[in-house]
Structure 1
C-alpha cells in the first residue's frame, strides 16, 4: 500500500482521500489463504528405534490381538539359535505361523534369502511352520519383491510373506491401545485413527483368541456337533439307522439349545431320512411336516415340493417292498402326505380353489395307493394342529 507524494488530503482537495465503493477490488476475497502449518498425522511408526526385545514383544502382541492366533510365544532367547523364528503362533485350523523381525535400515534380496534359509536350510527343522512372515522397518524395494516371488516358487510347502513398515502400521492404525503401550500416548494420537481414552490398556487374556477361534469355525465345529454327525454317518454306513437317529437327535438338541435353529432344522431333515431308512415312516413324516410348513410360511415353493416329494417316494418305496402292507401301518404318514400334497397344489396354483377330497378312511388300504381325485381345499387352514 503506497501513499501519494503530496500526502493524504480531504475529499475534493487534490483527490488524496476518496470514498471506496462496495464493488472495489479491495473488498474481494484473498487470492490465497495463508494457513498456519499444522502437525500432520504420522505416516509410519518408528519401528527401527525399538529395542530388539521390544520389537519381538510387539510382534507377539500383534499375533494374539491383531492376527487372532493361539498359543503365541517367543521362540528361543536372544543369542540362541532360533531356526529363523522370533515368534510363533497357531491358527484355528492348527496351522503354525512363524514371524521373524529384522530391524535393518536397508533390506536387499540377499537379506531376504538369508532370512528364509535360516529356517529352511540352516534351521534344525524341529519346528516347521506353514507360513513364514518376515517383518522389516525399512522400505521394500522392487528387487526384494521379485526375490520374494522366487522364494515362494522354490518353496512350495512354505508360504513366505514380507511385511514392511507400511503393512505393519496398517495393522496397528486402529489399535491405539497397542501403539500407546509401545510408542507412547503422543505417538498414538498422531498415528492412530482414534485417540485412546486411557494411556495404557492392559493386554486381554486368551478369551479374545477363543472368540477369534470360534468365529472361524462353523456352529457344528464350535459346539462339537461335527463328531456326532460323523458318528451318525458311520452308523448309517453300517445300516444301523436307529443308531444314526440317536446321534442326530443329540446333535439337533445341542444346536437348538445354542440358538442355531437353522442348523438344527437341517439336522432334523437328516434325521427324517434316517427314520425312513429305519422303516419308521410315521415319525419321519411328522418331522418332514414341520419342515414343510416352515418352508410354506417362507413362501419357498421349491422347498415345499422337495419335502412332499421325499415323503411320497418313501411311501411308494415302502409299498413296493411289501405290497401286502395295510395303510393302517403308515396311517399318519399317509394323512400328512395327503395334506402336504393339497397345500403344495394350492401354493403352486392358488386359483381356482379346488375342493378337498374326503379324508382317507381307517379301513384297509395300500400304503402305495397315493393316487386319487384332484387334491385341494376350499380353505387355506390345512395345517394340522
Structure 2
C-alpha cells in the first residue's frame, strides 16, 4: 500500500473527480468576470463580483463548519455539486442579467466551500491509511494545481472558439462526474461511527476557537500559514506592477515568473508526495517560510525573477505541513468547524492584504511593501519558534 498508494481505488476515484472539477472551476472563474464586464462595461462591478465571491465565505464559515461536522460529509459533497450544476445550467438560460450572474456566482462559491470543507475533513476516511495521508494530500494538491493551470490555458482556447456558454457547460459536466466518483467511494469505519454517534456531540462553533488554547503548536502553525495568505494577497497585486513598471519588462516575463512558481510548486509537491516527512510538521513549515522570505529578497533586492522557483517550492512545504498536522493531531469530530474557522481567518488576511494594497499602492513601491512584509514574516517566524521552544522545555 505504501509503495502503490496512488493505485488505491478510493484515491484514484477521488483524484479523478477532484481534478476534473478543478478544471471546471477555472472555466467558471474565467467566464464570470468576462460575462459581467461585457454586460456592464464597469470595472467596479467586476470588483463587486470578486468581493461577493470572498465575503460570504468569511461570514458563513461558522455555519458551514458546524453543518459539515454535524452531517454526513459524502451527502454534503453530492448536494453541493448538484446545486452548482443547477446554477450553471440556469446560466445557459438566463444569460443577459449581470446581477443574476453575480448572485449565482456567489451561491456557487458558497456551495464550493461546503464541498471543499467536507472533502478535506473526509480525506482520512477516503485514504484509510494514516501512514500515507501526508503524501496523498500532497499528490492531490499537485494534481489540482496543475489542473487549474492547464485549465486556465484550455479556457482561453475554448473561449476563443466557442464562447462562455461552453465554459459553463463543461463545469456542469465536471460536477456531475465528480458526484459519480463520490458515489463510488468506500469510506472507512471512522466515517460510519461518526455518523452513528452524531447525536452524542454538541456542535458549537466556539469549540473550534477554544481549541487553540489546548493546542498551542497548532495556533503557532496557523500564524505562520496565515502569513502566507497575507503575502499572497500582496504578491497578486504587486508582481505585475514590479515587472512592468520597475523592471521595464514585457508581458512575456510575467508569464516566465508564473512558470518559475509552477516549477517550484511541482518540485515541492513531488518531493513531499514521494517521501514521508521525517521531521516534525512545524520544522517544514519554518523551512517553507524561510525559502519564501529568501525568494522575496532575491526578487526585489537582486531583481531576479528566477527566485520565483524558491517561492513556489516554499508554498507546498507550508501548506502540506499544516494539513499534515491538521489530519494527524486535531479531533475528528471538530475538524469541520476547525477548518472553517481557520479558513475564515486566512481568507480575511488575504482580503486585508488586497485592501492594504488598494490604499498604499500610490505611496510605496512594490519592493518596499513586500520587503517590509518579508521582515515582519521573519520576526513572526523567529518569535513563534522561540515560543514553541520555551513550551517544549
TM-score using structure 1 length? 0.21
Determine which structure has the larger helix proportion and give its number. 2
**TM-score where L is the length of structure 2:** 0.20
Greater Rg, structure 1 or structure 2?
1
